[in-house]
């Protein structure tokens, strides 16, 4: 890619990423870590996308949230990433290098800078429904009182039993009383004394505290006062919620359906009349009288009722519209003020304009009253801003197919028919059922569950002809996980073809079969519900042609993925081309470049794909989007503040500061934080202790810095929430105050005390003290750790000169890095030399020649052919490798990162005379014949193609080679073009034409190619290949008859095998799987990284893939390498293992124990652990028999100190002290 | 909290008993899912060794147990903890703590 000299002068060193799913996040992180400012724009209130909604991920069953949340936190905290959530791109002007993007930020009504994400507002908000708001302002501009015409008495099983639990005191203000007697008439307990024309008074002995008097006292007098009501200083809404919670607590466990009698607490009436300003409810002798026509159906009364007396649907003449939680796919309710999901970044709620009472009528305001940081601002409006960027990455993601379009499955009508994404939420521990598999219809635990595949995929009838690529795997995963939750579940998956084409996917399916998951090859034609039981009868035709009917308790529809209408409109705004399904149009050789220059696309919007391929494209898009901006790298970044660290003198006294967080009332409502802070002050060396309302709020963090200086603190302990989310924040606070950031410890008294011991406040406080004491003792033992800085060599070593290696070399050179490209063969080209055309019909030869020219002409690239890398030393950022050159000599090269692109080749099994007979050939041979010898091709009357000839079997390759189905389809169409009369029979097991290649499969079938399925476990095709004639016989399941074929040609789809890399892998100490493909650092989120930092891979060395996927991966690998090479210096983590050489017995235990092969025996004959390579797990520390290895931060001293403190605190408790 | 259960050695586990613990739970990643490849497998072996030591010195092997959980399994964690606490409560204070109590009474 050449850089226009004009844009080079003026380009903007910033990139906008639109869409904050896993794709957008990965692009943003890679760009931000390679010197570019990133604006990440997300329509939703928080980033995370679809992946955050998933429970587990295939094929490793990793917990999706566990692996994505560190990314969320990293994006949220990255200095170079500006998050624009709840925002939309509305225009993109200018050109590549110099775009101006217009962003609309929707009103959030919550100030992101002030909010700490404590969630109190959401708990306090009483609204649960979408209301019908009344026009209450009269013509005179004054508020009209609503009068009910249609009333209904709500009775319980027996008459109300008035309660005085947590009673408030009501009094008459004599000066304000107008002597009207309304209160007297309203009181059902005769507690209000009143005589005509006299001031009323309340008999406190008879008053039950229901507040009827208060609600009827006319607005203009307000003569009734309330006292003894906790939280009333905030507002009445908060006080009502507080009393409701208190009553629930005192009544014992609020078991739904146990207490259905009205307790006449009066909270519903107070809420409706005084908080919502409606007055639709009134307490009467027999219960509650509801004004059906004036009820605004907000649900507030029901949500504050401490018993289960009220039900909003009985209180109105309208049908309530529950406010559904979209993150949980509408399976449970949310509040108008809502944090998108528990781990959301930013963890800041948004107020929904459609349902918030305050924003619509001006009443309520409970959330603002309860917020301790003053973050809620009802005056927010939409704002617009213009941002200048050099390029744009569009990764909007996808939505799922609307299953109600396939009416025969009854989705939306039968309650126990759910979509796969809904099922994903049902499986999730943080989902609506806390991970318990329940039918939505009746909360029953289903035993027999059916999955129906291809709902909205491979379906011409509803305009979704493409394959969604992920459903076969996710359905299997859901079935697998469902059985993990409840082993009595019997899953059945109804499918057409099992498209488990990815790396390790087939073995996952095998494991699923072994785990009693039943696979039935059939398309379900209809579902009928038994209205009595809610069970579902499925009708289908099985493999033998028999019509079957089977009953299941629950059905999951494996809905396909599609591009949302909003995304199509956005694409139009951006000005990029889409195909008829809405997917981005890109070229097979530049897979992430959209039709408008400077705009790049990635993720499932760029064709259906799973998470690893999405992550791969995301890194690739980051690379593609930044290559033209390389000259303006590092021009838009905010400089990190440099603070000099105070150096501790030996003998300096310890001065520990302790901060015990209230977290609003999250912690303080259970744990007595003041007592904990008092206790802290009694501990040795603690010179300061405080209990901030929110320790993590911006002002508190600033205050901590001041306090550190004021009190000359040199150690800090925070007793608050989870270190996994908040430790980095506090550690950087210490750093900014000039203290070593490892002089810090955190006690989690929220998750471990207030949340789990809610009903035992004293025990929770005791435990909080112990945990805090352990942290204080631990921090007393802390050692200052330093993070070493070292220079980075901005050079990439690429091993392998095929399409992956060459693409990577050109891109890396474009990024401004030097490249050594080492190829074992005398010439560049790799496997592509043997191939003719790409899946989208482009010729490889000119592309390949162009690529070779660009490599050879690039002065930054040094090509070493007929050469081999024989040794590598060093670590990330600073490697040195030895390359054997054709002369037999060797040369040493320095580089900061390594890329393995060693590729693969066609498998040539000894099958059916392949290689010996002229009429038996591989797909690659056949492809060459079609191009090079069209005359012979035209003379071929009939061809049989045998799929999986050597793949997916124990004797040959036990994996799926992924590309062969598409190759067969491509070559079939190719032959049909030359000779339309040719008969082609493709014998297959599953046609794995994933994604948009399904369209070609369809095209091939339409052009008359005959596809015959076989199952080698039942009957493999009998093939007799002789030099004279070939005969093939097998059973065609579609006609259920034996067929005999005598083709002119037998074409074998043989699959692909990796090149021999055993020596290379051993030398680089990177693992390969049993098939010889390199193993990625993480199957989902680090698809091109190897476990050893600084080493990457691309192309078929990773696993079988086509050229487009290979190019994407090569670009991704360069994108990842750029996060290292673009830095002048790198910093190592301070937490690594160190060997004390004095006691090392050179027993090699650490060498053997380390899972990363880091420890070595050095020249001084002791074990040595390179800090740059150490991952910091501590396994060697525990294994070392001489106890001579230590891990910073986790020393024996630290652990023993914690245990000592535990014991001391326990004894203090027992002896009554503390 | 530790980077990996693989950091735990037998001495620390025994130290916990010495310092007054009546029971010790070790919780690592799911087997095969270790963030550091195989730290949890090594931890399991160490816990097993401590189990045998506790048996030999009559503290009772039921006082130590290793569990494997993923970060998303909060309710399972609660169930495991309740189960283990119940087991330890049934066993009563550890002999070390009993001896210490007697000592305290004497003095």
Say if residues A834 and A906 touch (Cβ distance below 8 Å). Answer: yes
Residue listed under structure tokens 């302002």: A137
Chain A residues touching residue B71 (CB < 8 angstroms): 63, 65-66
Strand partners, A102: A91, A386
Chain A residues touching residue B1 (CB < 8 angstroms): 723
Q: Domain A656-780: give its CATH code.
A: 3.40.50
How many other C-beta atoms are found inside a 10 Å radius of the C-beta of residue A738? 15
Put simply, the answer to whether B19 touches A1191 (Cβ < 8 Å) is no
On the question of a common fold for A803-903+1059-1129 and A907-1056, the answer reads yes
Give the chain A residue whose CA is nearest to the CA of B7.
A1178
Say if residues A420 and A557 touch (Cβ distance below 8 Å). Answer: yes
In terms of Cα–Cα distance, which of A472, A963, A372, A1012 is closest to A700?
A372
Q: How far is B95 from chain A (nearest CA, A)?
A: 15
- Cα radius of gyration rounded to whole Å, chain A: 35
Q: Where are the beta strands (DSSP E) in A653-799?
A: 656-660, 686-690, 715-720, 744-748, 789-791, 795-799
Structure tokens at A259: 């207490």
Structure tokens at A1109: 């996927």
Put simply, the answer to whether B7 touches A1181 (Cβ < 8 Å) is yes
Put simply, the answer to whether A55 touches B72 (Cβ < 8 Å) is yes
A1133 touches chain B (CB under 8 A): no
Give A995-1042 pLDDT, tens digit per residue: 999 999 999 999 999 999 999 999 999 999 876 789 999 999 999 999
Say if residues A1047 and A945 touch (Cβ distance below 8 Å). Answer: no
Chain A residues touching residue B103 (CB < 8 angstroms): none
Strand partners, A333: A324
Q: From the list A66, A430, A1178, which residue is nearest B7 (CB)?
A: A1178
DSSP secondary structure string, A566-578? HHHHHHHHHT--B
User: What is the pLDDT confidence band of residue A3, given thresholds at 50, 70 and 90?
Assistant: very low
Question: Which ipTM value was assigned to this complex?
Answer: 0.96
In terms of Cα–Cα distance, which of A397, A497, A451, A606 is closest to A998?
A497
Chain A residues touching residue B8 (CB < 8 angstroms): 1182
Chain A residues touching residue B38 (CB < 8 angstroms): 1155, 1179
Put simply, the answer to whether B7 touches A1194 (Cβ < 8 Å) is yes
Q: Where are the alpha helices (DSSP H) in B57-106?
A: 74-91, 95-106
The sheet carrying A98-105 orders its strands as: A87-95, A98-105, A383-389
Put simply, the answer to whether B70 touches A1182 (Cβ < 8 Å) is no
Structure tokens at A261: 């009698």
Give A576-598 pLDDT, tens digit per residue: 999 999 999 999 999 999 999 99
A1137 touches chain B (CB under 8 A): no
Q: Where are the beta strands (DSSP E) in A243-369?
A: 281-284, 287-291, 337-338, 350-351
Cα A100 from Cα A37, distance rounded (Å): 15
Pick the CATH number of A803-903+1059-1129 from 3.40.30.10, 3.50.50.60, 1.25.10.10, 3.40.50.720: 3.50.50.60
Chain B residues touching residue A1210 (CB < 8 angstroms): 20
In terms of Cα–Cα distance, which of B68, B43, B50 is closest to B13?
B50
Give the chain A residue whose CA is nearest to the CA of B42.
A1179
A4 pLDDT exceeds 70?
no
Put simply, the answer to whether B72 touches A1175 (Cβ < 8 Å) is no
Q: Domain A401-560: give its CATH code.
A: 3.50.50.60
Averaged pLDDT, A1122-1136:
92
Identify the weakest region by mean pLDDT among A65-69, A405-409, A1078-1082, A1190-1194.
Answer: A65-69
Q: How far is A711 from chain B (nearest CA, A)?
A: 29
Say if residues A922 and A963 touch (Cβ distance below 8 Å). Answer: no
Give A18-43 pLDDT, tens digit per residue: 999 999 999 999 999 999 999 999 99
Helix (H) or strand (E) holding A1081: strand A1080-1082
Q: From the list A428, A1177, A1211, which residue is nearest B4 (CB)?
A: A1177
The Cα-based distances of A1019 to A615, A910, A1009, A1046 in angstroms read 40, 21, 22, 19
Q: In this predicted structure, what is the pLDDT of residue A8?
A: 46
Residue listed under structure tokens 């043989």: A1054
Structure tokens at A912: 């059916």
Give A623-675 pLDDT, tens digit per residue: 999 999 999 999 999 877 778 888 888 888 999 999 999 987 789 989 999 99
* Residue-averaged pLDDT of chain A: 93
Q: Domain A10-106+384-397+564-632: give its CATH code.
A: 3.50.50.60
Give the chain B residue whose CA is nearest to the CA of A1202.
B16
Q: How far is B100 from chain A (nearest CA, A)?
A: 11
Say if residues A1191 and A1181 touch (Cβ distance below 8 Å). Answer: yes
Q: Which residues are CB-neighbours of A196 under 8 A, at least 6 positions away?
A: A179, A181
A507 touches chain B (CB under 8 A): no
Q: How far is A1205 from chain B (nearest CA, A)?
A: 9
Give the residue extent of every domain in chain A: 10-106+384-397+564-632, 120-370, 401-560, 656-780, 803-903+1059-1129, 907-1056, 1137-1192
Put simply, the answer to whether A1199 touches B19 (Cβ < 8 Å) is no
Put simply, the answer to whether B37 touches A1156 (Cβ < 8 Å) is yes
Cα A549 from Cα A510, distance rounded (Å): 26
Strand partners, B50: none
Cα A577 from Cα A569, distance rounded (Å): 11
Q: In this predicted structure, what is the pLDDT of residue A259?
A: 63
**Upstream peptide bond of A265 is cis (omega within 30 degrees of 0):** no
B76 three-state secondary structure: helix
Q: pTM (2 decimals)?
A: 0.89
Q: From the list B3, B38, B71, which residue is nearest A1178 (CB)?
A: B3
Structure tokens at A979: 């000779």
Phi, psi of A891 (to 5 degrees): -130, 150
Structure tokens at A532: 């009595």
Q: Which residues are CB-neighbours of A655 under 8 A, at least 6 positions away?
A: A685, A687, A688, A711, A712, A713, A714, A715
Fold of A907-1056: FAD/NAD(P)-binding domain (3.50.50)
Percent helix, percent strand, percent coil in chain B, to nearest 5: 60, 10, 30
Q: How far is B84 from chain A (nearest CA, A)?
A: 16
A486 in the Ramachandran plot: left (φ > 0), alpha (ψ -120 to 50) or beta? beta
Q: Domain A1137-1192: give its CATH code.
A: 3.30.70.20
Chain A residues touching residue B75 (CB < 8 angstroms): 429, 434-435
In terms of Cα–Cα distance, which of A133, A1, A138, A3 is closest to A631?
A3
Cα A702 from Cα A708, distance rounded (Å): 10
Structure tokens at A908: 């040539």
Put simply, the answer to whether B70 touches A66 (Cβ < 8 Å) is yes
Say if residues A1009 and A986 touch (Cβ distance below 8 Å). Answer: yes
Residue listed under structure tokens 């591009």: A563
The sheet carrying A490-495 orders its strands as: A417-419, A554-559, A448-455, A490-495, A518-521
Residue listed under structure tokens 């399941």: A1037
Cα A87 from Cα A382, distance rounded (Å): 9
Put simply, the answer to whether B72 touches A1206 (Cβ < 8 Å) is no
Q: Where are the beta strands (DSSP E) in A590-737?
A: 599-601, 656-660, 686-690, 715-720
Put simply, the answer to whether A62 touches B16 (Cβ < 8 Å) is no
Cα A765 from Cα A758, distance rounded (Å): 10
Cα A928 from Cα A936, distance rounded (Å): 11
Helix (H) or strand (E) holding A366: helix A366-370
How many other C-beta atoms are found inside a 10 Å radius of the C-beta of residue A646? 17
Give A670-698 pLDDT, tens digit per residue: 999 999 999 999 999 999 999 998 888 87
Averaged pLDDT, A527-538:
96
Q: In this predicted structure, what is the pLDDT of residue A156?
A: 85
Residue listed under structure tokens 């090859």: A521
Put simply, the answer to whether A1155 touches B1 (Cβ < 8 Å) is no
Give the chain A residue whose CA is nearest to the CA of B37.
A1155
Q: How far is B47 from chain A (nearest CA, A)?
A: 12
Cα B91 from Cα B17, distance rounded (Å): 14
Chain A residues touching residue B35 (CB < 8 angstroms): 1177
Q: How far is B19 from chain A (nearest CA, A)?
A: 5
Put simply, the answer to whether B20 touches A1210 (Cβ < 8 Å) is yes
Say if residues B3 and A1194 touch (Cβ distance below 8 Å). Answer: yes
Q: Where are the beta strands (DSSP E) in A203-280?
A: 224-227
A17 pLDDT exceeds 80?
yes
Q: How far is B76 from chain A (nearest CA, A)?
A: 10
A1203 touches chain B (CB under 8 A): yes
Q: How far is B52 from chain A (nearest CA, A)?
A: 18
Structure tokens at A1002: 């369809």
Q: Which residues are CB-neighbours of A180 under 8 A, at least 6 positions away?
A: A218, A221
Cα A212 from Cα A190, distance rounded (Å): 11
Structure tokens at A727: 């430790």
Q: In this predicted structure, what is the pLDDT of residue A515?
A: 93
Chain A residues touching residue B21 (CB < 8 angstroms): 1203, 1206
Cα B34 from Cα B65, distance rounded (Å): 18
Say if residues A1117 and A1098 touch (Cβ distance below 8 Å). Answer: yes
Put simply, the answer to whether A1179 touches B78 (Cβ < 8 Å) is no
Put simply, the answer to whether B36 touches A1181 (Cβ < 8 Å) is no
Q: Which residues are CB-neighbours of A769 under 8 A, at least 6 positions away?
A: A675, A676, A679, A1209, A1218
B15 pLDDT exceeds 90?
yes
In terms of Cα–Cα distance, which of A58, A1087, A62 is closest to A474?
A58
Cα A924 from Cα A523, distance rounded (Å): 34
User: What is the pLDDT confidence band of residue A375, given thresholds at 50, 70 and 90?
Assistant: very high
A434 touches chain B (CB under 8 A): yes
Give the chain B residue whose CA is nearest to the CA of A1214.
B101
Cα A98 from Cα A78, distance rounded (Å): 24
Q: Which residues are CB-neighbours of A710 under 8 A, at least 6 positions away?
A: none
Give A844-889 pLDDT, tens digit per residue: 999 999 999 999 999 999 999 999 999 998 889 999 999 999 988 9
Cα B28 from Cα A571, distance rounded (Å): 46
Averaged pLDDT, A371-380:
95
Q: In this predicted structure, what is the pLDDT of residue A258?
A: 52
Angle, vertex CA A1098, rays to CA A1096 and CA A1102, nearest 5:
95
Q: In this predicted structure, what is the pLDDT of residue A1217?
A: 42
User: What is the pLDDT confidence band of residue A2, given thresholds at 50, 70 and 90?
Assistant: very low
CB burial class (10 A; 0-12, 13-18, 19+) of residue A233? exposed
Chain B residues touching residue A723 (CB < 8 angstroms): 1
Cα A1054 from Cα B6, distance rounded (Å): 44
């Amino acid at each position: 890619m050449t850089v226009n000299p004009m844009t080079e002068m003026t380009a903007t060193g910033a990139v906008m990423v639109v869409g904050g799913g896993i794709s957008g996040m990965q692009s943003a992180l890679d760009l931000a870590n390679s010197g570019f400012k990133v604006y990440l724009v997300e329509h939703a209130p928080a980033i995370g996308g679809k992946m955050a909604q998933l429970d587990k991920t295939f094929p490793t069953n990793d917990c999706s949230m566990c692996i994505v949340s560190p990314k969320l936190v990293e994006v949220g905290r990255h200095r170079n990433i500006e998050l624009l959530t709840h925002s939309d791109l509305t225009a993109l002007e200018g050109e590549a290098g110099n775009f101006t993007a217009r962003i609309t930020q929707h009103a959030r009504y919550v100030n992101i800078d002030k909010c700490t994400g404590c969630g109190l507002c959401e708990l306090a908000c009483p609204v649960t429904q979408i209301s019908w708001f009344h026009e209450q302002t009269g013509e005179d501009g004054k508020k009209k009182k609503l009068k009910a015409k249609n009333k209904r008495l709500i009775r319980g099983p027996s008459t109300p039993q008035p309660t005085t639990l947590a009673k408030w005191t009501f009094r008459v203000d004599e000066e304000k009383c107008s002597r009207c007697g309304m209160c007297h008439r309203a009181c059902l307990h005769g507690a209000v004394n009143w005589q005509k024309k006299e001031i009323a008074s309340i008999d406190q002995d008879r008053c039950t505290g229901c507040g009827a008097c208060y609600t009827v006292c006319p607005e203009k007098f307000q003569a009734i006062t309330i006292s003894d009501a906790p939280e009333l200083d905030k507002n009445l809404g908060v006080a009502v919620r507080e009393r409701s919670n208190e009553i629930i607590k005192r009544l014992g466990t609020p078991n739904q359906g146990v207490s259905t009698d009205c307790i006449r607490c009066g909270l519903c009436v107070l809420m409706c009349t005084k908080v919502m300003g409606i007055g639709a409810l009134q307490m009467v002798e027999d219960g509650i009288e509801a004004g059906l026509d004036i009820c605004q159906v907000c649900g507030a009364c029901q949500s504050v009722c401490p018993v289960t007396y009220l039900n909003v649907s009985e209180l109105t003449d309208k049908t309530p519209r529950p406010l559904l939680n979209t993150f949980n796919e509408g399976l449970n309710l949310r509040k108008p003020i809502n944090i998108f999901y528990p781990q959301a970044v930013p963890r800041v709620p948004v107020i929904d304009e459609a349902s918030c009472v305050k924003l619509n009528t001006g009443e309520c305001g409970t959330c603002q009253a309860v917020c301790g940081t003053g973050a809620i601002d009802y005056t927010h409006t939409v704002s617009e801003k213009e941002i200048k960027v050099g390029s744009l990455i569009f990764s909007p993601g996808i939505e799922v197919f609307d299953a109600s379009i396939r009416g025969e499955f009854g989705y939306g009508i039968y309650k126990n028919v759910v979509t796969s994404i809904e099922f994903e939420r049902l499986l999730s521990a943080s989902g609506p059922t806390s991970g318990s598999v329940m039918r939505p219809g009746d909360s029953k635990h289903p035993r027999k569950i059916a999955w129906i595949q291809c709902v909205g995929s491979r379906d011409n009838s509803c305009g979704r002809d493409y394959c969604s690529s992920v459903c076969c795997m996710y359905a299997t995963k859901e079935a697998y996980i469902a059985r993990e939750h409840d082993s009595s579940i019997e899953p059945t998956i109804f499918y057409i073809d099992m498209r488990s084409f990815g790396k390790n996917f087939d073995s996952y399916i095998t494991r699923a079969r072994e785990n009693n998951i039943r696979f039935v090859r059939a398309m379900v034609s209809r579902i009928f519900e038994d209205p009595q039981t809610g069970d579902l009868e499925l009708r289908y035709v099985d493999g033998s042609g028999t019509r079957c009917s089977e009953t299941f308790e629950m059905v999951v529809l494996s809905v396909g993925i599609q591009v949302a209408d909003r995304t199509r409109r956005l694409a139009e705004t951006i000005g990029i081309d889409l195909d008829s399904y809405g997917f981005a149009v890109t070229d097979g050789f530049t897979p992430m470049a959209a039709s408008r220059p400077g705009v790049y696309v990635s993720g499932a919007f760029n064709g259906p794909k799973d998470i690893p391929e999405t992550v791969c494209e995301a890194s690739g898009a980051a690379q593609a989007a930044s290559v033209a901006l390389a000259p303006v790298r590092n021009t838009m970044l905010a400089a990190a503040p440099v603070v000099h660290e105070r150096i501790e003198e030996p003998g300096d006294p310890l001065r520990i500061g302790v901060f015990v967080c209230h977290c609003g009332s999250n912690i303080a409502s259970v744990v007595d934080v003041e007592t904990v802070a008092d206790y802290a002050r009694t501990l040795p060396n603690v010179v300061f202790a405080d209990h901030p309302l929110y320790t993590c709020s911006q002002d508190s963090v600033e205050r901590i810095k001041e306090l550190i200086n004021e009190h000359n603190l040199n150690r800090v302990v925070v007793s608050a929430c989870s270190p996994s989310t908040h430790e980095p924040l506090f550690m950087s606070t210490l750093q900014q105050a000039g203290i070593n950031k490892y002089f810090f410890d955190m006690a989690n008294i929220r998750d471990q005390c207030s949340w789990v011991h809610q009903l035992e406040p004293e025990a929770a406080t005791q435990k909080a003290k112990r945990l805090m004491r352990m942290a204080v003792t631990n921090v007393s033992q802390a050692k200052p750790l330093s993070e070493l800085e070292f220079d980075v060599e901005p050079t990439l070593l690429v091993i392998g000169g095929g399409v992956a290696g060459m693409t990577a070399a050109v891109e890396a050179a474009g990024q401004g890095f030097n490249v050594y490209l080492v190829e074992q063969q005398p010439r560049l080209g790799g496997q592509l030399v043997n191939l003719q055309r790409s899946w989208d019909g482009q010729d490889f030869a000119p592309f390949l020649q162009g690529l070779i020219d660009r490599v050879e002409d690039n002065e930054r690239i040094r090509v070493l052919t007929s050469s081999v890398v024989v040794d590598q030393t060093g670590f990330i950022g600073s490697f040195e490798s030895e390359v054997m050159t054709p002369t037999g000599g060797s040369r040493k090269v320095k580089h900061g990162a390594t890329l393995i692109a060693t590729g693969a080749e066609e498998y040539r099994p000894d099958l059916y005379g392949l290689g010996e007979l002229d009429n038996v050939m591989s797909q690659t041979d056949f492809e060459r014949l079609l191009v090079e010898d069209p005359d012979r091709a035209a003379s071929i009357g009939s061809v049989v193609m045998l799929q999986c000839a050597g793949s997916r079997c124990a004797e040959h390759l036990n994996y799926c080679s992924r590309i062969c189905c598409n190759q067969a389809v491509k070559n079939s169409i190719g032959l049909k073009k030359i000779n339309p009369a040719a008969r082609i029979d493709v014998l297959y097991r599953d046609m794995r034409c994933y994604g948009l290649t399904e369209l070609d499969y369809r095209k091939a079938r339409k052009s008359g190619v005959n596809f015959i399925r076989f199952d080698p476990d039942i009957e493999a095709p009998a093939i007799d290949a002789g030099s004279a004639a070939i005969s093939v016989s097998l059973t065609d399941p579609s006609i259920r008859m034996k067929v005999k074929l005598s083709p002119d040609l037998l074409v074998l789809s043989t699959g692909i095998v990796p090149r021999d890399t055993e020596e290379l892998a051993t030398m680089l100490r990177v693992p390969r799987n049993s098939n010889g493909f390199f193993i990625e650092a993480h199957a989902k989120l680090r698809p091109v990284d190897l476990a050893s930092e600084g080493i990457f891979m691309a192309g078929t060395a990773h696993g079988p893939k086509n050229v487009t996927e290979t190019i994407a991966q090569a670009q991704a690998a360069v994108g990842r390498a750029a996060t290292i090479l673009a830095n002048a210096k790198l910093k190592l983590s301070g937490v690594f293992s160190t060997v004390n050489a004095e006691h090392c017995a050179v027993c090699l235990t650490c060498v053997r124990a380390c899972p990363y092969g880091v420890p070595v025996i050095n020249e001084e004959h002791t074990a040595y652990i390179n800090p740059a390579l150490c991952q910091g797990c501590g396994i060697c520390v525990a294994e070392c028999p001489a106890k001579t290895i230590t891990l910073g931060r986790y020393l024996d001293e630290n652990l023993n100190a914690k245990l000592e403190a535990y014991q001391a605190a326990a004894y203090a408790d027992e002896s009554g002290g503390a | 909290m530790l980077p990996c259960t693989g950091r735990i050695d037998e001495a620390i586990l025994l130290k916990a008993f010495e310092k007054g613990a009546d029971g010790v739970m070790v919780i690592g990643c799911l087997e095969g899912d270790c963030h550091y490849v195989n730290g949890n497998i090594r931890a399991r072996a160490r816990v097993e060794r401590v189990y045998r030591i506790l048996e030999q010195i009559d503290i009772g092997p039921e006082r130590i147990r290793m569990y494997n959980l993923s970060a998303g399994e909060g309710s399972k964690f609660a169930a495991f903890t309740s189960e283990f606490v119940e087991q330890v409560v049934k066993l009563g204070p550890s002999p070390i703590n009993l001896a210490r109590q007697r000592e305290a009474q004497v003095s």
